[in-house]
Chains A and B, each alone.
Chain A
Amino acid sequence: MKIKNNIAVSDNGFVFNPGSGESFTVNPVGLVMLNMLRKGLSQSKIVATIIEEYNIDASSVERDLNDFKEMMRQYRLMQHDDE
């Protein structure tokens, strides 16, 4: 699964899905993760980047990243890799 190509993300965490017209907000850590997901970075790379920059352990980040991706899937902001 990857972030849909047409999703617009502003620098201050405003997310717009032109396909559905729905808008979202993400918090600063969510924005960092979202931008890395859009660039297609692997899960392990994202986790490594976060623990380098923030005061948090790897297992917590991995758990939160999976949860974050699940929420985006439920909000239909993700698509299958072959779509």
Chain B
Amino acid sequence: MTVKRTYERPVIKKLESNMPNKFGMRTIYEPVTHLEENAVKDLISEYGSPLFVISETKIRKNYSASRQAFETRYPRVQFAWSYKTNYLDAICNIYHQEGSWAEVVSGFEYDKAIRNGVNGSKIIFNGPDKSEEDLRKAVTNNSLIHIDHLDELYLLQDIARATKQRPKVAIRVNMDTGVFPMWDRFGFNYENGQAWDALNKIMFSGQMDLVGLHTHIGTFMLAPSAYAVAASKLAHLAQSVLTKYNHEIKYIDMGGGFASKNTLKGSYLPGSDISPSIDDFAEAITSALMNSDYRPKTPPLLIIESGRVLIDDAAWLLGTVLANKRLSDGRRSVILDVGVNILFTAFWYDHKITPAQAFTSYTEDTALYGPLCMNIDVVRENINMPMLNKGDQLVVHHVGAYNMTQWMQFITLRPKVVLIDEKFKVHVIRNNETLSILTDLEAVPSHLVDFEL
């Protein structure tokens, strides 16, 4: 019996000689058939498609590199894992095992950190939404409360008075660091004196322990110099407190927002080429602190609340081709089982996407759509892809940050998340949703139970 040849969808492509890519970059990648010794097809066969896959090895490596970048430049550094970036328990615990504190922005995240076993004194409580109940809990647990607005400051004063406890507080400071847009909705402004007023209120009240200063200047920041400006301004505030009250600020929290290697939509060059390294950010921040005029007896602890840069490239999303279509303008479109409901970051990034099986050199400009019956469900508007067939598998890269927290149950159910450990063994760390998980939360009034069609 003769062996039949491998079939590839027929394609004809016009040769465009007048539109060279001046950077000469390849837009096609090697197929990614395995993720840390595990075949993509085996993972999908065992755990279903779509499927989030996270690498424990990569997380620990990223953390170690980031810690080294700061600790080799500054004597006292503490990382606090940003829960909102990815608050799956297994993921948080990897960071806690590495020594990270917890940085939370809601009562829900706070309770999750406590449930994970984080000591209350090692939880940083950020964000504009802290209920009285949340604050009372945080005060009792000696957590570090970062005050966002005056209403919260007054509420904390009331709690301190009523409970005779001394909350450990910092204020969040927003400022002009020379980048656009300037984030001024969180915390107290530096330039107009709000921050200094809030610090005076705390010191005059005598009911709270002012232990830190905090800022978080933006997200996906591409300019390390902005962090240098921010660090200098916080150091200046710290020195002002020391001069006026003879009170040492114990820590300076620079937040996070460091860019990962993803490519922002509209960016001409890929993120892998233009995003600064963690060393660039570390150099800017630590140099600014060391060279500042803040002169306490003990150098303040430098807290980093990084999330995205520590996990983005440690996760992949596996998916499968559902169908091929030709659009009215002749463009190829491919429908995947991966939609924006689980790949929220498709709204921000042009994700790198690679086939999970061998392909030839023939390619087509392709629009990649998700499975949702919604026009917004676009994974990539235009990407050069090989001939994909129904059933082919794909790997979406750099999906570790925000997707597993901002994903939504919409039209389809959310898939499994698996972790590949350091010995390349696969563990399910979040099961897929089922219909009953959702319907168990619902109630149908008795008059709406029956109907006839």
Interface residues of A (CB under 8 A from B): 15, 22-30, 33-34, 50, 53-56, 60-61, 64-65, 67-68, 70-72, 74-75, 77
Alpha-carbon separation in the docked complex, A17 to B326 (Å): 23
Chain B interfacial residues counted at CB < 8 A: 20
Let me know if B10 and A56 touch, CB within 8 A.
no
Interface residues of B in 346-398 (CB under 8 A from A): 360, 362, 387, 389
Let me know if A55 and B8 touch, CB within 8 A.
no
Interface residues of B in 1-43 (CB under 8 A from A): 4-15, 17
Top 4 closest pairs, chain A to chain B, by CB: A30-B10, A56-B7, A54-B7, A27-B362
Alpha-carbon separation in the docked complex, A71 to B17 (Å): 19
**Partner pick for A53 among B4, B11, B13, B330, CB 8 A cutoff:** B4
Min CB distance, B321 to chain A, in Å? 13
Min CB distance, B25 to chain A, in Å? 20
Let me know if B326 and A70 touch, CB within 8 A.
yes
Let me know if B13 and A24 touch, CB within 8 A.
yes
Contacts of B324 in A (CB 8 A): 67
Let me know if B330 and A33 touch, CB within 8 A.
no
Let me know if A75 and B14 touch, CB within 8 A.
yes
For the residues of B in contact with A, the DSSP-based class is loop
Let me know if B12 and A72 touch, CB within 8 A.
yes
Interface residues of B (CB under 8 A from A): 4-15, 17, 324, 326, 330, 360, 362, 387, 389
Min CB distance, B438 to chain A, in Å? 36
Let me know if B12 and A68 touch, CB within 8 A.
yes
Contacts of A75 in B (CB 8 A): 12, 14
Contacts of B7 in A (CB 8 A): 29, 50, 54-56, 60-61
Min CB distance, A10 to chain B, in Å? 13
Let me know if A55 and B14 touch, CB within 8 A.
no
Given contacts A27-B362, A70-B326, contact A15 B5 (CB under 8 A): no
Alpha-carbon separation in the docked complex, A72 to B13 (Å): 9
Contacts of B8 in A (CB 8 A): 27-29
Min CB distance, A15 to chain B, in Å? 7
B389 and chain A: residue at smallest CB distance: A60
Let me know if A55 and B4 touch, CB within 8 A.
yes
Given contact pairs A30-B11, A50-B7, a sample of 16 additional A-B residue pairs in the complex whose CB atoms are under 8 Å apart:
A15-B12, A24-B12, A24-B13, A25-B12, A25-B13, A26-B10, A29-B9, A30-B10, A33-B10, A34-B12, A55-B5, A60-B7, A60-B389, A64-B9, A75-B12, A77-B12
Indicate the member of B7, B14, B362, B389 with the most A CB atoms within 10 Å. B7
